[in-house]
């Protein structure tokens, strides 16, 4: 199976608009980046991943301060092919794919706990890491590592402090 077969298998089943970019990494591995515009399309993706005997590796979430939304990216593996599926949510919910792919269980629980994005229909309500006294979505309050590494925080306060110790 190749990435084109997977992408062709989902195209006719998706409900809403979508964007697909196929690529090959520097090791020669196929990968796909899919942006969905309809939440229920995540179920279509999950069913296709399951049909091709794939798994959910992890999900990435982050808060978009500019428009008060969240972006969730599911990362799937099918026999070495990586499929990244992005969905935005303005109501802090996604449709849980754990009932379809058990491998999404922890990833979706992390989304709930760390970013306060609720996977609707998820079978488990227990927390994974944080004590119940710590508010859901605690990571929304901090600058993400990727943002910090790229130097695109909202202010230059962090980098001003870092650069104080740097001698030219």
SS3 at position 32: strand
CATH 3.30.460.80 fits 3-141, yes or no: yes
Question: Nearest 5°: phi and psi at 112?
Answer: -65, -50
Tens digit of each residue's pLDDT, the chain (168 residues):
788 999 999 999 999 999 999 988 888 888 999 999 999 999 999 999 999 999 999 999 988 888 999 999 999 999 999 999 999 999 999 999 999 999 999 999 999 988 899 999 999 988 776 667 777 777 666 655 555 555 555 555 555 655 565 544
pTM of the model: 0.79
* Ranges of each domain in the chain: 3-141
């Amino acid at each position: 199976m190749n990435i084109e077969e997977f992408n062709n298998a989902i195209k006719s089943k998706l409900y809403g608009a979508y964007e697909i970019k196929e690529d090959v990494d520097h090791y020669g591995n196929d990968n796909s980046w899919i942006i969905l515009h309809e939440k229920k399309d995540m179920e279509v993706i999950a069913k296709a991943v399951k049909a091709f005997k794939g798994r959910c590796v992890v999900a990435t979430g982050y808060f978009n301060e500019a428009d008060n939304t969240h972006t969730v990216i599911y990362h799937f593996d099918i026999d070495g092919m990586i499929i990244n599926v992005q969905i935005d949510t303005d109501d802090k919910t996604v449709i849980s794919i754990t009932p379809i792919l058990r491998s999404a269980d922890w990833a979706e629980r992390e989304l709930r706990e760390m970013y306060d994005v609720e996977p609707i229909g998820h079978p488990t309500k227990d927390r994974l890491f944080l004590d119940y006294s710590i508010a859901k979505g605690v990571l929304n309050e901090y600058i993400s590592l990727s943002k910090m590494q790229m130097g695109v925080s909202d202010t230059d306060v962090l980098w001003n402090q870092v650069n104080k110790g740097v001698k030219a």
